[in-house]
Structure 1
Amino acid sequence: MPVAATDDPYADASAFLAALDPQWAAHIQRVGRCLHQPKPTRDPFQALVRAIAYQQLHARAGDAILGRLLALYPGQAFPSPAQIIATDPHTLRGCGFSASKLATIQGLAEAAQNGVIPSYEQALQMTDAALIERLVALRGVGQWTVEMLLIYTLERLDILPVDDFGVREGYRRLQGLEAQLTRKQMADTAQAWSPYRTVAAWYLWRVQAHPARGADTTD
């Protein structure tokens, strides 16, 4: 079990998960301290646009598209919803967005202006369930996207994205299972990881990179 360190904000979470069973304990020992890095400076609108930009793309391709978008608005960290709406669609398409992603981003900008997407301060006061219910109603926004917002922008510590392949495959490998758990099985199993399901997800995303000795990493 890892030793709690005063400068480690996730020490309690790591210790809690390591106490679940020998597989968790060994994995956390291999990986070490949790280095989860949320981005609380990003408001929900920005976080959602970034998530859409990277959907179904390798990180390098997403970086390039986002970089071209930001270059359209020099001198500021991120464009406002009003700026997105005012920008010619052909210019935005030139950044590399598909027609579907462009429509989603324009819809997000309108939703932010209309108050459907809450501000950072408003979102902090909303429950996980309320945010998910409100935002998945928007075009192109699924539950996984909102869960990433909860994890990285709002710093929620008890979010488990059960539809995430890395989480489900990580757990399969961690426990030596023949097949991934179903969505419901994953959600039910993860109840035991509360109130640190976000940290559990972080460790599960690293199972393949830190396999147990003798584990088969080719299947």
Structure 2
Amino acid sequence: MTLSKLVLPPEKLHTLCVQQSHFSKEMTPLYWTQAIQELAACDKVMHQLIRQFEDATLTSRGCAFTTLARSIVGQQISVKAAESVWQKVIRTIPDMTPHTIAAAEQDLLRTCGLSARKITYLQDLSRHFTEGSLNETSWIDRDDETIIKQLTEVKGIGRWTAEMFLIFHLQRPDVLPLDDIGLQRAMSLHYLDKQPVDKKTMLQLAKPWQPWRSVATWYLWRSLDPLPVAY
């Protein structure tokens, strides 16, 4: 695998990756080449996984509102069921915006297969966007924890959902979702001979990956499911 060298000063990583995520949602992160070079150099497992999945990269699609709405729709149901419900929602409300969801009749949303609780969550999400308490342009200069705090004030959005948003939509480079079952399984498989893993151990194993823990997480997910996920 031949990699061209691209070195970004650490103090510029945060602003660069957030600006890219704001202006172009379908590009590979500009830090990707540097990240995989450094991960492959410091970790044998990462080196192997990067070579194995060298043609795949993290990508993002859609806008902030639809990304978060989709995550709410998919909570506590299978991937197949979530996709079915989501398709019904966007067929019923093709112009998916905070205003159209806020204005939609609950009975109409129920016909899409949404529970009363998820309808409440979607409408609360819509309210946060329409009132301006969630504003994508304001996130450019904010750190990960500040954004997580903002997002988790929305009904139905917990830390895990906020972390997925940081990784897949804002493409932040150094997120480690400790509660993610897939990451736990992969770290147990590749680093602990399938023994149980706790959060303290996960943090220790992930230290060499900084500031690229999102990228390392993405490759560990690939080791369990080769099909890349996009939100």
The TM tier, using the shorter chain, reads 0.7 to 0.9
CA distance in 2, matches of 1:107, 1:209: 33
1:64-94 Cα deviation digits (max 9, x unpaired): 11111111234x3xx2212112111011111
Distance 1:175 1:33, change over 3 A: farther
Query: Does residue 99 of structure 2 align to residue 100 of structure 1?
Result: no
Greater shift in the superposed pair: 8-17 or 151-160 = 8-17
Partner in structure 1 of residue 40 of structure 2: 18
State yes or no: 1:113 paired with 2:130. yes
User: How many angstroms does 1:124 deviate by?
Assistant: 2.0
Output the TM-score relative to the length of structure 2: 0.79
Q: Is the contact between residue 171 and residue 180 of structure 1 (CA under 8 Å) also seen in structure 2?
A: no
Find the partner of 2:54 among 32, 43, 55. Answer: 32
Query: SS of the counterpart of 2:154?
Result: coil
Cα-Cα RMSD: 2.2
Q: What TM-score, normalized to structure 1?
A: 0.83
2:174 match: secondary structure: coil
Letter in 1 for 2:112: C
Counterpart CA distance in 2 for 1:64 and 1:178 is 34
Cα offset, 1:63, TM superposition:
1.6
Sequence identity percentage: 29
- Indicate if the aligned counterparts of 2:176 and 2:217 stay in contact, CA closer than 8 A: yes
CA distance in 2, matches of 1:183, 1:113: 37
Q: Which runs of 5+ in 2 are unaligned?
A: 7-27, 227-231
Structure-1 residue corresponding to 2:16: none
Read off the aligned partner of 1:42 and give its amino acid letter: C
In 2, the alpha carbon distance for the partners of 1:153 and 1:94 equals 29
Q: CA deviation at 1:60?
A: 2.2
Q: 1:148 aligns with which of 164, 181, 195?
A: 164
- CA distance in 2 between counterparts of 1:30 and 1:24 reads 10
CA distance in 1, matches of 2:55, 2:196: 26
Is there any run of 5+ residues in structure 1 with no aligned partner, and where?
211-219
Taking a change above 3 Å as real, the CA distance of residues 166 and 173 of structure 1, as seen in their structure-2 partners, is same
1:195 aligns with 2:211: yes
SS in 2 for 1:132: helix
Q: 2 CA distance for matches of 1:21 and 1:159?
A: 18
* Superposed displacement of residue 177, structure 1: 2.9
Q: How many residue pairs align between the two structures?
A: 203
1:91/1:156 Cα in 2 relative to 1: closer, same or farther (>3 Å)?
same
Asked if the contact 1:170–1:205 (Cα under 8 Å) also holds between the matched residues in 2, the reply is yes
